[in-house]
């Protein structure tokens, strides 16, 4: 059984559809505007960054896109990471395991791929909190493109507010990803 720290209430789902930053359809343009380090959340985002020659400093994948398995060629192309770890995180939750691995991946000197058993979508929120100033979190906006979220005070305040309205222990979740 996973140590679930936060769970997404149905009333917050609509608000999460509002992007945390600019939407890009061109990977080169996104990379031109991105800060450092880059944290990628999602298989397709990670795939596009790797294909463009930029292995993210930290990437979270679950081998699914829009609730379906990703193509084998996408999974095969996601590589080049210094280390790969498997973590459990059921859908619509954030577990202590995922939050701790996220923090460790950001603190690592090399690149890290977290292969999530479950769902990685909500990891965008703690990633924005955990990332250093100047970093970028990139995630997919279904049927629109890739969102480039800057890790600035405004984004952190918005993310903290979202986490605090989730069911569970927001204080613990924030503590697990804080440096």
Quote the domain boundaries for residue 56: 25-177
Q: List, for residues 2-26, the tens digit of each pLDDT value.
A: 799 999 999 998 888 899 999 999 9
Q: Annotated binding site for GTP: which residue ranges? A: 43, 45, 62, 120, 143
- Would you state the pLDDT for residue 1? 53
Count of domains forming the chain: 1
Residue 18 within a domain: no
Residue 19 within a domain: no
Cis peptide before 37 (omega within 30 of 0): yes
* Distance of alpha carbon 150 from alpha carbon 107, whole angstroms: 18
- Would you state the pLDDT for residue 66? 67
Does the structure show a pLDDT above 90 at 93?
yes
Q: What percent of the chain has pLDDT over 90?
A: 81
Cα-atom radius of gyration of the chain, to the nearest Å? 15
Q: Annotated binding site: which residue ranges? A: 43, 45, 62, 120, 143
Does the structure show a pLDDT above 90 at 56?
yes
Residue 16 within a domain: no
Residue 142 within a domain: yes
What's this model's pTM, rounded to 2 decimal places?
Answer: 0.94
Residue 7 within a domain: no
Choose between 121 and 68: higher pLDDT.
Answer: 121
Contact 101, 114 (CB under 8 A): yes
Residue 38 within a domain: yes
């Amino acid at each position: 059984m996973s140590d679930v720290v936060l769970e997404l209430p149905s009333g917050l789902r609509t608000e999460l559809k509002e992007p945390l930053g600019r939407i890009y359809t061109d990977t080169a343009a996104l990379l031109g505007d991105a800060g450092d380090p880059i944290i990628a959340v999602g298989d397709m985002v990670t795939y596009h960054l790797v294909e463009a020659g930029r292995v993210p400093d930290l990437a979270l994948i679950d081998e699914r896109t829009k609730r379906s398995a990703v193509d084998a060629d996408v999974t095969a192309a996601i590589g080049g990471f210094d280390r790969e770890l498997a973590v459990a995180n059921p859908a619509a939750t954030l577990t202590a395991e995922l939050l701790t691995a996220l923090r460790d991946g950001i603190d690592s000197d090399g690149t890290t791929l977290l292969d999530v058993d479950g769902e990685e979508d909500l990891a965008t929120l703690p990633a924005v909190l955990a990332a250093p100033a100047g970093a970028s979190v990139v995630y997919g906006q279904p049927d629109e493109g890739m969102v480039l979220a800057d890790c600035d005070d405004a984004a952190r305040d918005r993310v903290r507010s979202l986490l605090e309205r989730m069911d569970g222990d927001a204080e613990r979740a924030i503590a697990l990803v804080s440096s």
